[in-house]
Every structure is written in structure tokens, then in C-alpha cells.
Chain A
């Protein structure tokens, strides 16, 4: 890998070297490095681009990193990654995509990640998106995440996109089984003329299933964002969605929460709040010696942390 690719990798994984445990690094449309462990196997798909990640039942305290970097302007790819997670696992999965576009043609990565989480397993899934490069070509990412949670399993999904992605359309579909729980935390910042759309469809199908979808977003300049959160309560269950957004400059944000109770014991709540930074917050930080611009930055960074 070259320097640009290493920088991208560092941005999305926070790692300065190859990760420990299982990993698969994809660069400019090809798998360039892979490592498996006794419990985690990674197999290239035969019928389409992508990999199968197979995690054996009972695998604990292991991690899988599957970063993707694109540094070749004009590259467009569609990748399928399927995670087959056995019963009673406890693993951390780190994905993410970094695009450096120094040219004038659009670069695009569309990833479809499917998670089949076995009974009683606990998964932490972290996904970071990052774009860089001075080229006029756009950096585009359209991730789709499908999640199936079996009985009493638990998944925590953290997604972050705070720099350099021109256009993104993200869809997360989940079905939650008996006693299972899905927590989604999304952090999103757009600036310039970027556009971001994030859609969540969660079906609470199991008895005592639950979900919490939390989005924190900041839209600056002329950027636009659309947040859609649909939760269907089909059993005795608990669902909560929350969109909290700061709007600045000429940006536009829409939040469209939708909750449907198909069972009398479904308890569903949605909350959405959009507004500019409160003037008194800026004033408070200015009384501590910060300029207005520094105060704004402090508030936005804290909000997205």
C-alpha cells in the first residue's frame, strides 16, 4: 500500500499498522492483505465481489477489521460482505471506507454488509467513513447494512461520517428476535454542498426485543441531510429513535421519524430536534475567552464526540 492508502487506513481504523486478529484490507478494488484466526475465517466470494466472514460459535474477545480504501480516481465498486456470527460470541467488528479522490472523475464505494448474529452473541460494529483529495471528482459512499439478530443477541452499531464525503445514502435494515437488542449511534457532519441521507428500518419481531436509534448530526454551509427512522413494533417490544441536529449557515435538515405499533404491548417513542447552536452556549464559551468561531467549533466537536 502507498502513503495515501496508509493515511486513509489510519483515518478510518485509527490504526498505524496492520490490525491484530482477523482482517481483510481492500484497496482499489482488490483484497491486498488478509489474516484469519483459529476462530474467524475470511473467504472470498465466488459469485460476486466481497467476502464471507465466518465467526465460530463461542468466539470471545476477538476482533475483525475489514477496511476499504480507494485512491484511484474514477473507481466505482459494489461489494458484498456477509458476517456469519455463531452463537455465544463476543466480538468487535471494525469496517470503514476511505476515499481519496485527486482526479476529476467520481469515485464510489457501495458496500452491502449483512450480519447474521447467532443466539446470545454480542457484537460491537464500528464503521467510519472518510474522504480526502483536492480533485473535482466526487467521493460517494452508499452503504447498506442488513442485520438479523437471533434470540437474546445484542448488537451495538456506531457509524461516523464527519469529513470529506460528498454524497452518501445509507440504509440500515434490521430484524430483531426474541429478547434481542440493537443500539445504533450515528454521527454525521456535512459541509460545503454535501448531501447525506440516512434511513433506518427496524422490525421488532421478537417478544421483548428492543432498539435505540440515536443520530447526532451537524449540517454546515449549503449541505443537506435527510434522516428517516422507521420502527415497527410487531410484538411486546420497546423502540426509541432520536435525531438531534445542529444546523448552520444555509444548510437544510429534515428528520422524518416513523413509528408503527402492530401490537398493543409495543412501546415506541421518537424524538427529533433540529436547531442552531444556542446563543447562550456561544456566549458562555466566549466569557471563558474563546472567540465566537472557536466556541462554535468546541460545541460542534463536543456534540459529535
Chain B
């Protein structure tokens, strides 16, 4: 479904020398899988997600989506080809209402009831939120959940979530796990979730560990997760 081929991304550092953030990554996501990406802060996970969505452009390498080379496609083209991305830090807007954002995401006229359904899925009492602006008046956790609701509304073949758990309270977190499980079970779509949470890793089919711009480990959950959780062995991914 998604193939990253020799993908690299570098930026100039403070002295102007190139700094490699993604180092020749090769990675294949299978159809209809839930893949979790984990690894230490600063390892390059968010950058990889942005490369997939087209927000950053690779220095070299190719990205294939269902066999189609999307490396040179714009963000809009990739979105319309069937990729969604939930930001680690969702964007705030003055004057754009929660309902507007969900309607844009759903890509068709949406009844208030329809929009509310997506909000309820992420544990927000829809009536209180639907007509609010997606602006500074929302808390970080509320914003994050609205962001997730827009991605659910898009319902695309591939959805990328960047640390969806951040800022979300425990009760909602339990629901969030259920939401991801349901998304995974009830559709043919694939999910790519960047997370540090054991409980999210636990519902994944595949786990990829990324550190220092490299794939440090990759494989079925059952083989990767025990190693991650085992203190001494887990450490080897983080070195």
C-alpha cells in the first residue's frame, strides 16, 4: 500500500552543513494493516509522516502509494489520492468552525447530525463543540480530538496519526484505542500511528522502531513489542 524507497531528507544545520534527518529509509506498509511507529524523541518520526503527506519533500528516494509514484505530488494531490494526516500539533484557525473543518474533511455536505457522530467517536459531546471556532479557545486535548475526528471523517485508504494520545485524558484514551480498533476492523483502510503508548503499540499488526533517522527494528507486534518492553533489550533500539 505504501512503499518508501531509499528515502532521505536533509536540512542545512546552523553552520550550513547538511544534516541528515531521514537516512535512506526503506519501508513497506502492507494493505489493511495497522502499523505503529515508535522510537525516541527527535528520531525522525514526524518528519517521516510529513514526507508521506508531502509537507516535506525528500532530498532523495521515492514514495509509492498503491504502486503510484507520489514523490512529486503536491499535498492536495496526495490528499485526493487517499492519504490523511493528523498533525502532532493541530492547527488553530480564527473563524473556522469545528463543523466547517469536519465538513471539509468529509468532502461532502454533512448534516449536523453527521458531523456530530464523528465528534462523539472521539469522546466530545458534539452539541457543545460543533459551532465553536477551531481557535485558541479550545484546549490542547480538545483540539487533538477534533483533529482525529476530521481524519475519521475523511475515511481514506491511508491515515497517518502523529502521537494521537498526546494531551488526551485517560477516559478518552480508552475510547481512542477502541476507535482505532474499530477503524482497523471495519474497513479495508490502513493506519499508520506514531505513538509512545504501549496500549497503542499493542493493537498494531506491525511495529517499526525509528531512531536517529533509521529503521532500527521492524516486524510483527508479537516479535517487536516484547523486546521494546523488556528494559535491557528495549534499550538497544534507543542507542
Residues of A within 8 A of B (CB): 216, 244, 278, 280-281, 283-292, 298-299, 301-305
Interface residues on B, range: 20 to 34
Among the listed B85, B87, B95, B101, which residue makes an inter-chain contact with A304, where contact means beta carbons less than 8 Å apart?
B95
Interface contact B91-A281, CB-CB below 8 Å: yes
Residues of A within 8 A of B91 (CB): 278, 280-281, 283-284
Residues of A within 8 A of B107 (CB): 288-289
Specify the chain B residue showing the minimal Cβ separation from A302. B95
Among B91, B105, B154, max chain A CB count under 10 A is at B91
Residues of B within 8 A of A281 (CB): 91, 93
Contact with A along B215-230 (1 / 0, CB 8 A): 0000000000000000
Among the listed A289, A292, A302, which residue makes an inter-chain contact with B94, where contact means beta carbons less than 8 Å apart?
A302
Interface contact B150-A299, CB-CB below 8 Å: no
Residues of A within 8 A of B75 (CB): 283, 286-287
Among the listed B55, B93, B100, which residue makes an inter-chain contact with A283, where contact means beta carbons less than 8 Å apart?
B55
Among the listed A284, A289, A302, A305, which residue makes an inter-chain contact with B87, where contact means beta carbons less than 8 Å apart?
A284
Contacts A280-B91, A281-B93, A303-B95 given; does A286 touch B100 at CB 8 Å: no
Interface contact A285-B94, CB-CB below 8 Å: no
Stretch with Cβ within 8 A of A (4 or more), from B31-39, B64-72, B76-84, B205-213: B76-84
Interface contact A288-B79, CB-CB below 8 Å: yes
Q: Is B104 an interface residue (CB 8 A)?
A: yes
Residues of B within 8 A of A278 (CB): 91
Interface contact A291-B76, CB-CB below 8 Å: yes
Closest CB of chain A to B51's CB: distance in Å?
13
Interface contact A286-B94, CB-CB below 8 Å: no
Residues of B within 8 A of A304 (CB): 95
Among A288, A289, A298, max chain B CB count under 10 A is at A288
A114 to B2, CA, bound (A): 66
Residues of A within 8 A of B192 (CB): none
8 contacts between A and B (CB under 8 A): A283-B75, A284-B87, A287-B55, A287-B79, A288-B154, A291-B76, A302-B97, A302-B100
Majority SS at the chain B contact face:
mixed
Contacts A298-B104, A302-B100 given; does A286 touch B93 at CB 8 Å: no
Interface contact A288-B105, CB-CB below 8 Å: yes
Specify the chain B residue showing the minimal Cβ separation from A291. B76
Among the listed B76, B87, B94, which residue makes an inter-chain contact with A244, where contact means beta carbons less than 8 Å apart?
B94
Closest CB of chain B to A58's CB: distance in Å?
34
Q: Is B74 an interface residue (CB 8 A)?
A: yes
Among the listed A289, A291, A292, A302, which residue makes an inter-chain contact with B93, where contact means beta carbons less than 8 Å apart?
A302
Residues of B within 8 A of A286 (CB): 74-76, 79
Interface contact A305-B104, CB-CB below 8 Å: no
Specify the chain B residue showing the minimal Cβ separation from A300. B95
Residues of B within 8 A of A280 (CB): 91
Closest CB of chain B to A7's CB: distance in Å?
27
Q: Is B53 an interface residue (CB 8 A)?
A: yes
Specify the chain A residue showing the minimal Cβ separation from B90. A284
Among the listed B95, B101, B150, which residue makes an inter-chain contact with A305, where contact means beta carbons less than 8 Å apart?
B95
Specify the chain B residue showing the minimal Cβ separation from A305. B95
Interface contact A289-B95, CB-CB below 8 Å: no
Q: Is B96 an interface residue (CB 8 A)?
A: yes
Among the listed A287, A301, A303, which residue makes an inter-chain contact with B53, where contact means beta carbons less than 8 Å apart?
A287
Specify the chain A residue showing the minimal Cβ separation from B78. A287
Among A285, A289, A301, A302, max chain B CB count under 10 A is at A289
